[in-house]
Chain A
Amino acid sequence: MIEIAVLFSISCVGLAMALNLWRLARGPTQADRILALDTMTINAIALMVLMQIQQGSAVYFEAALLLAMVGFVGTVAYCKFLLRGNIIE
């Protein structure tokens, strides 16, 4: 039962990442692209957590935690760059 639920969830998140990719390619503004990339990072974290449940191993937690932090820092850095023209003032 859990196997079927995990498969369903993984398919949903995969489809969601495809939609994000479409928005990332389409744009039309820069802010749309930042938002799509940030959502892709969050969906990748969800995919890692689901893969752990599917395989029954707890190997990817550090990777998911790192991805959460790096994704946030990257998004904020991109926003600061578009607002100010540089990142560290």
Chain B
Amino acid sequence: MDAGPLEILISAVLVVGGFFALVGSWGLARMPTLMTRLHGPTKVTTLGVGSCLIASMIYFPAMQGKVSAHELLITLFLFLTAPITANMIAKVHLHRQRRGLDAEPMDGIADSLPESGVGTGWATFAGRETEPSDPPR
């Protein structure tokens, strides 16, 4: 069985993709607090999925002669949405920790925030007088 250079390239990218997906989830399972857990899925897993999509992007035109833009679309969408998702989740965590809604795992992140540097405090905590009266638990 002779392995062409293209085949070796596709295999290498596939192995890298699987490895990074595993490392991202390992970080999600092993890290101590949520702010550290955010790093694994948002960066490493995105890279792993990107590698799988790159392998598919090489495989289908090279082996079957079919070219499609779907991989590019998925890659673009994932790379655009991963930071937004991370930002939203961190915001949820900050607000819930600050208001004491998460029962026992208070990691003190909301009390140890640094100064915002503009003299008015953090923008996400501004105007919280209009909170819903009965927030979801």
Contacts and interface: CB of A to CB of B under 8 A. Distances in A.
B14 A8 contact: yes
Interface in B1-58: 1, 3, 7-8, 10-12, 14-15, 17-19, 21-22, 24-26, 28-29, 34, 37-38, 41, 45-46, 48-49, 52-53, 55-56
Nearest to B64: A56
B21 A43 contact: yes
B116 interface: no
A45 B46 CA distance: 11
A32 B37 contact: yes
A83 B88 CA distance: 9
A19 B28 contact: yes
Contacts, number: 175
Q: At the interface, is chain A mostly helix, strand, loop or mixed?
A: helix
A23 B66 CA distance: 39
B92 A31 contact: yes
13 contacts: A2-B11, A4-B11, A9-B17, A16-B25, A19-B29, A31-B34, A31-B92, A39-B25, A43-B49, A61-B70, A68-B74, A72-B81, A76-B84
A35 B28 contact: yes
B104 interface: yes
A42 B46 contact: yes
A12 B19 CA distance: 6
Interface string A47-89: 0011011001010011011001100100110011111111000
Interface string B54-74: 011001100110101011011
Contacts of A75: 85, 88-89
B10 A58 contact: no
**Shortest beta-carbon contacts, A-B, top 8:** A9-B18, A12-B18, A85-B132, A16-B25, A5-B11, A61-B70, A79-B88, A31-B93
A2 B17 contact: no
